[in-house]
Every structure is written in C-alpha cells, then in structure tokens.
Chain A
Amino acid sequence: MLPGLLGIAVFYLIPFGDVVRRSFLQMSGEAFCGMDNYRTVFSNAAFRLAAKNTARFVLVCLPLLLVLSLLLALLASRFSVRLLTVFKSAFLLPMAIPAASVVLLWRLLFDVNGFVNGALHGMGISSVDWMNTGAAFAVLVFSYIWKNLGYTMILWLAGLASVPKEVYEAAAIDGAKSAARFFKITLPLIRPMIFTIVVISLLNSFKVFREAYLVSGNYPQESIYLLQHLFNNWFLDLSVDKMAAGSVVLALVIGLFVGILARCWEER
C-alpha cells in the first residue's frame, strides 16, 4: 500500500496541497490575501456562467447516461454470448476513436452545411446553426452519451452478472413479475455497483471538455462554456490565484457530492 500511497502523494496530494496554499496567496508577490481569491472567483461572471453550465451538463447527462446504459445492459443481458459480444463491441467503438477524429466527425455532422442539416433540409426542416446557438449544448450532451454509453453499459453488465440466477428463479416460482424482479432483486443487489458507476460517470463528464475545446476553441457558444474552458483561459492569462481558488472550490464540490453519495449508500 505504501508505494501506491507514495505515488498518490507525490503526483496528487502534494501538488493539490500547493494549489490550496496558492489559493490564499496573491499572484504578484505571493502575499497572503485571505479569502480574497475566493471572493474574486465567486464574483466573477465567467466563473458563475461556467459553473452553471458545468452543473447543468452533469445534471442532464448523468441521469440520462445511467438510465440509458442500464436499459441497454438489461437488454443485452438477454442476448446470446455471440450477439452480446457484437453488441458490446458496437457500443465500445466510440471509446476507441481518437479525439481528433471525433472532432472531425462533429464538424462534418454539425456544421451549418453539415450532414445533420442536410438531412433536416431533406425533410423540409430549416437548418440549425448547431455550434453557435443554444443547440450546442444538445450536441455536447449527445457527444458525451454517445462516447460513454458503451463503457457504462459494460459496468452495468458486470453488476448484473454478479446477481445469482437462483434468486431470479426463486422469484419466478413465487410469481414475481419482471418489474418486481427488477426493483426488488436486481436494483438492491447491484447497489454497490451504482455508486462506482455514478462516480466514474461524473468524472468522465469532465473529459468532454476536450472535444468541446477542439471544436469551438477557448470561447465556444456560451451554453457549452465549461469550467475547464475557464481554467484553461486563466492559465493562459497567468491568473494562478483565481485558478487555484476555483480548483479548490471544484474539488470541494466534487468531494461533497461523492461524500453525500457514499453516505447515502452506507445508510441504506
């Protein structure tokens, strides 16, 4: 355990400790400034917009991903081994596509003169400027779901496989219907898995920035302006003080969310 802890300390804990330290210092001269950096960050309109967009993205994407992937997993669990392999491969494929290719695909699909608008035009629907209107948010959500659906489904499948078949057989003999079996047997038994999947999906949701950044640059349409855009721009501006305070706030929020989630699971 010690080598692992050492690695985590060197690469995560100590650097994060420095970030916490810097969040109480001025960038110029490194003088102690108390909570000034935090006050600056909370009064910053860009931070508020980015935080709002990030929270909105997580709140929309996370439930959507969990439900869709669970439904797919339930469906796939009934397939034969051969069909399941094909099904899993098909849904895992997006994860194997490099970000640069995904970006190219995005542009081909969602450009004003792209394939999606071409299809809409064919159906007599007026075209949409996907990347420069509020529709950009929907594109971002779609991209996240498309990329992570297969992986999350695999996680669910692993959870479902851990439920003993005998329990289902006993329930069937007792006359339990499908819905009752799902809510009374499946969900309670895969409950430890749900915690892991939620945390992994939450962390994965922050990785969607890469595609958004590569497609729309530092200043995308305002609905997809995320915290990572802001941190990236603050670094370009050498606003280390604001970046440190913002990072600490973000870490606290994620920590709090995961803590509450863990507490809920423990209580049950």
Chain B
Amino acid sequence: MERIMRKFKRIVSGLCMLLLSALMLPGCGGPEGSEGESYGTQRAEGTDINPQGGAKGRFLETELAMPEHISQVLGVRKCEDGSIVLFGYDENQITLYRAISENQGQDWVETSLEFGVYRLAAVGEDGSAALLGYGMSEDDRDVFLVDPEGKTSYVHLNMSEVSGYGEMSNQILSAAYTAGKLFVVDLSQKIYEVDLTGSTTVGSMREFTKAIAEDVHDILPLNGRLAALTSNGVRFLNTDDGTLCEEDEVLTQALGVVENNTDSAQFSVIPTAGGSGDEIYFANHDGIFYHRNGASTVEQLANGELLSIGDASVTFRELSWFDDEHFVIFANDSLGNERCYRYVFDAEASAVPEKQLTVYALEDSTVLQQLVGAFQKSHPDVFVKKNIGMTGDDSVTAEDAIKTLNTEIMAGNGPDVLVLDGLPADSYIEKGILADIGDYVTAADEAEGLFTNITDAYRKDGALYQVPLRFFFAGLEWDEEVGPIAGTPAQTAARIESLKDGNGPVLTPVSAEVFLYAFYDACSASFRTESGIDEPALGESLKAAKTLYDLDGYEESERFSYGGFGPFMYQGQNIYGTISQGSMGRISGQAKVSVGTYSGVDEVCNLYGIENSRAGSFGLLCGEENRAFVPFLSLGLASQAKDSELAQSFIQMALTAEGQSQMTVHFSVNRKAYENECRNVKPYSISTSGADGESCGYEVKPLSEEQMQELTAMLESLNTPMWSDRVVQELFIGEGVKYLQGQQSFEDTVSAIAKKVQLYVSE
C-alpha cells in the first residue's frame, strides 16, 4: 500500500511540475512589463496570423496628403512644440515653400519664400532652418537662414576646395541644424561646424570632429547629439565638443550599415529621439523600433511587412515621434514621390491581422512588394505572406525552389496565389493546380478597360488560368537617316548589316546576352511548335543575333551587359538591356541603331526625348510574323486556396488602376493605369558626352496625345506571348552565348538546343 502511495505521489508531483512548466511558458511571450519596453505589438521574427486571435494592439498606417504646393521636399523636422516644419519646392521647382503642421501632418499651412536654388534644408528644433545650395561655384555658396517667424537672412559659406573633383570643387552633402548650430558634411565626407555667430556674413567652416576616421555620408540631429551615418555604421557625437558618445553596441548592431543616396539625403534607416534623453526610435524596411540606451534589446513596435515602409525601394527622410502611440514618417517611394505616413497605435486592433493570404513567387521584386503593400493598405485585417522561392540569401536554385513548392502543393500546403513567372504554368494548369480567373479579368476589363490582346492571349477554351499584370517587349531604335528597320530576323540583320559603311560603329556595344535576350523575347513565339522547336526558325534567330554581335567587331570585354545598371535591368527577371540605354550611344554619335527592351512608359518617354534631340524612330524587333510581348508578374489563383475569396480579391485588386498605380515598372495591362502613367511622367533632362567630348542630352517629358496614341497602337498590336519557359530560355541563352562568342559552331548550337528542347517537350 505504501509503495502504491509513493508511486501515486510521484505521478501527482510529476503532473504538477508539468502543469507549472506549462503555465510558465506563456509568460515568456506575454506582455512586456519591463520599463520603457511595453510598446510591444509583434516581434521582429516574422509574422504569422494568431490562430487564437487573442492579443490586441497594433500600429495602423494612414497615408497623409503632402502639403498642397510641395512636390519636392528639401528638409523636414518635428519641432520642440510638436509642430512639423517642412521646406520644399513646387512641381516646377520654382517656388520655395515652408509648410507647418500643428496636427501631426494632417493639415498644413504653407507660405512661399524668396526664390533660391537649394538642395537641402536643415531644420532646427525651434522651426528655424538653414537652406543650402549646390555650392559648386562661389555665387552658389550662400546659406539661406529662416528663423521661426519666417524672417530670412544669408550667410556666405567659406568652403575649402576639395581636390579630385575638378570644376565641382566642393559641395554640401548633408546638414543638421540643432541648438542654433549648423553642422555640414562636404565632399571630403568630414563634419564641419559653421560659425553663424554675431553679425558676420561669412560662415567659416571648422572641422568639427576628428573622432571619426571613416567617411561620413550624412548627419542627423538627435536630441542634443548628432547621429553620423558613416560607412561603418551609425556613430553618435556630442554637439558641444564633437566627442564620440559611449557606443551602444545593441543599437549600433540594430541600425547596421546605412545605405543612403548622397544626392537627396534619403536613408535606408532613420533614427529619432524619444521623450527622454536616452530613448531612441528608428525606422527601416523591417518596421519601427524602440531602444533605450544601455538596454540589451531592441523592441519592434510595428512590423514593416504590414506597412508601406516594408517596400525595399522606399527611402526615408524623417521619423517624427510624438508619443508612444503616434509617429509620422516622411519617405520617398520607388518613383521618387514624396510620401507621408502616419502611424497610430490602435489598442483594439488585433496584434496581428486575423486573416492570412499566401503569395508565392520564385523571385522577389519591387513590383510584387508594391502590390502586396497596396493590398495590405486596403485590407488592414489581412496579412499577405510573401513566400519567395529564391531569396538570394542562400544557394537555392530555381529547380530547388520549384521542387519545394511542388512538395508543399502536394501536401496541401500550397500558396493561395502564385506568381507564375519562372514556374511551369502550363503543367500546373494541366494538373488542375490553378483555378479559372476568366470572370475577374472580364469584369476588370468591363470596369476600367484592359489590354485584352495581352490578357486574353492566355485564354484557352474560354478559361483563363493566368493573367500578367505588366508586360514589356523587345524593339529597335534607329537614326532617321537609315530609315525604317523591320522584317524577319534575317531581313532585320541584313538591313542593319548594310548600314556598315566603315564610318563608325552601327550598334551600341552590348553583350551577347543582351542580343540573345532581345531575340528570344521577340522570336521565341515563332520557333515554338506543338511538338518541340522549329529548327530553321531557331537558326534564323541565332544567325541574326550573331550577325549583329559580330558587326562592329567589339571584344566581349568592351561590351555593356547593363547588369545592375538601373531598376529595369536585372537578369533574374529577364530584363536585360533597355533600348534607351542603347540609344544613348546613338545620341552621342557612337551608334546608328539600338537593340533592347521597351521596359515601360518612362522608357518610351526617353525614346521620344532622344528623337526630339536627334531625329530617329523606333519599332518592334522582328515583328513580322509574331508581335511578341513578355509577360511580367503573371498571377494564378490556386484551386486549393485556403481563403479563395481573399485570393480572388487580391487578383481583382491587382488588375485595377488603383492596384496597378502602385507598380512602377513595365507597361500596365490596365488601360486607365497606363494612361495615368503616360500623363504623369515627371519631366527631367539627361546629358552625356558625345564622341567628340562635347556635352549632349535630351529632355524627357510626359507623352503628348499623339505620342500616346502611337504607343497605344503599338501595344495593341502585340499579339503573342513569348515562349515563357525557363528551361527553353536558359538553353537558348546558354548555348547561344557559346555560338555568338565563337566557342561553338552554328550547327552544333542549333542541334544542342533542338535536341534538348525536343527531349524536354517529349517528357
């Protein structure tokens, strides 16, 4: 009996221990009770929907209108009295305005100021400001001072020359105005204090600190301190004596290395001071964070994945802290538009969104992030979880990622929406993985108008399983003197070859891959057959590419690949060399013809600008038989979507002008969005140096009605999608490069591609 009792006691005490442990566990993730760190909504480590839906409280985002007259911000800051003071130009960059908001950016009072050419404004805690010009010439080195009441004065900046910059000599990269002191960073990337005392009209620059050895990119005022954004991370300085503050390792690590655009004082991370001296808040693409000096952790207050600032193309200007529940962020979107976001803590909102939508893409892109951001903004109760197959952080290949995705689909854990770029879309349709979305596309067409020649190109037997949101195509641009260039690949190549007259090069020196991508985009639809590949048509495209590649006899090392040379030109998404980049060679007299990609409306505006400057014309590459387009961001609805209704609304929104307006690359399939893009192009000018060393350039303007009609007719004439198959495209480019570079014969190249494609198709 005693043994039984002892055993019973052991069991009971064991159960008690288990129960106690179970009760203690939730405490680890429960509400934070430590001082100053009770702002918690969700943690930095990813976001997932809370199945219990118990926790409450989350920062909600609202986008506020910028001051009516200001379209380019020079500087902005929250002042000691809680007001926000902002300096900027109107859209024509003629009138300078000061705007003040007393209610956290919701309403603005604007006053125009004296005209001047400035590139940045450093605003002080009291609302006074110092506006600085480009400083490249003596006349351009005046600091325009504005006091809190709006009274203005000038101080001439006595800048030292910086060697190695030629005529530019020196200019101010960044400035901070705090406690009546003006600090600047010049081209030598050192911090200087400008003497503004007394009645002197010359502000002499004194090197402020020698405590920082590395290059300083930018400086920000931070509650009596100066945050210096350096090549090694963020350093904090005392504004009194320039000494370094004691390093807070946790904060330094959390802030990381700051990427910034030295032209426009915009950052990848923006810090600001809190109410007490030792509190720091900062925002980056991961969200908004809080840190108390000396604390061992950094608290995530708002998750960037749920906010517009999660878009990696967003750059930050200012983070304004009002209290622990109110923030305002000034930022620029990927198009360079000024944005103002207000974040208010809503104690009643669920800590994490109640619904979740999973979107899968093989590769991430700015456009996808913009679409996800737009959807989340209009659906605050939904968390859109992006599943990216190839993040670039590891060595996962496309095949690895597709295998993983297929396993998930077979296990019933597939995504709700698939971005089909690079995925075996035809196979998924055949296997019933995708649902018919024809009705939503038709509805979107009836509501706002779509380019149905693009969207309906995928319709089979009345059903539509995928729809591209954007598209682009390959083309040519040529000098007016050489006349139009059109026809089959052979005719096009022969026509361009005939322009070789010994009087300079004909084409811009682009790499073998650029030629091959252009020909694949334009001609792959022509060499695709039901049972495999049309070898003569394939051979004609390869020969044409080879003719153009060999025409001017450039070495491969002399050629441009455009890799990483702009937002449109990355290999992963099949955009490889835009036509206007090539046309820069024509405008500078170094080429007569350009081959490349029409990447979007902005691209066409550039082409019209080039033609205004140096007469020419442009058209499709080999648009004789098929007028091919390249689909981009093709969406498919999973037939087994967990929340089919939500997935449908995501696709529906993606097709609307509102959804499309958030996207910034390629042509929109939505006519309304496309027309808006045509009309809203911001004018700018581009200059380059010509073959003779003389400067030449062109103006980019919004499209005129006539130009828009011409472009619309061209877009409407596109009738065939390119052969969107990763395997075939890789074979064409891989074997084609060997042929163009002379490592493989024509016959071997055609045979290698044809045999492998035949095998692939027969599988």
Contacts and interface: CB of A to CB of B under 8 A. Distances in A.
Interface stretch (A43-51, A66-74, A90-98, A119-127): A43-51
Interface string A211-254: 00000001100100100001001111111100000000000000
B756 A236 contact: no
A27 B433 CA distance: 10
B743 A235 contact: no
Interface string B168-180: 0000000000000
Nearest to A219: B756
Give chain A's interface secondary structure class: loop
Contacts of A45: 759, 762
B743 A239 contact: no
Q: How large is the interface on A (under 10, 10 to 19, 20 to 34, 35 or more residues)?
A: 20 to 34
A46 B409 CA distance: 25
Contacts of B760: 219, 233
A46 B748 contact: no
Contact of A238 (B431, B727, B748): B431
Contacts of A230: 763
Nearest to A48: B762
A236 B743 contact: no
A29 B406 contact: no
B403 A44 contact: no
A132 interface: yes
A28 B430 contact: yes
Given A234-B763, A235-B403, A236-B424, A222 B748 contact: no
B752 A44 contact: no
B406 A235 contact: yes
A233 B406 CA distance: 12
Contacts of A222: 755, 759
A27 B427 CA distance: 11
B564 interface: no
A238 B762 contact: no
Contacts of A28: 430-432
Interface in A94-141: 112, 129, 132
Nearest to A222: B755
A132 B748 contact: yes
B759 A236 contact: no
Given A235-B403, A236-B399, A236-B403, A46 B763 contact: yes
B360 to A, nearest CB: 14
A166 B544 CA distance: 78
B433 A233 contact: no
B208 interface: no
A19 to B, nearest CB: 12
A236 B406 contact: yes
B743 A112 contact: yes
B424 A237 contact: yes
B427 A240 contact: no
Contacts of B727: 218-219
A29 B399 contact: no
A222 B762 CA distance: 13
B144 interface: no
B402 interface: yes
A234 B403 CA distance: 10
A218 B725 CA distance: 14
A238 B424 contact: yes
B731 interface: yes
Name which of A27, A29, A132, A237 has the most chain B CB atoms within 10 A of its CB.
Answer: A237
B762 A237 contact: no
Nearest to B405: A238
B24 interface: no
Contacts of B20: none
A227 B727 CA distance: 19
Nearest to A237: B427
Contact of B432 (A29, A44, A129, A236): A29
Interface of B: 399, 402-403, 406, 409-410, 424, 427-428, 430-433, 727, 731, 743, 748, 752, 755-756, 759-760, 762-763
Given A222-B759, A236-B403, A239-B763, 8 more contacts: A28-B430, A28-B431, A45-B762, A112-B743, A233-B760, A234-B763, A236-B424, A238-B406
26 contacts: A27-B431, A28-B432, A29-B432, A44-B762, A44-B763, A46-B762, A112-B743, A129-B748, A132-B748, A132-B752, A218-B399, A218-B727, A219-B756, A219-B760, A222-B755, A222-B759, A225-B759, A230-B763, A233-B760, A236-B399, A236-B402, A238-B409, A238-B410, A238-B427, A238-B428, A240-B410
Shortest beta-carbon contacts, A-B, top 6: A28-B432, A219-B756, A45-B762, A46-B763, A46-B762, A237-B427
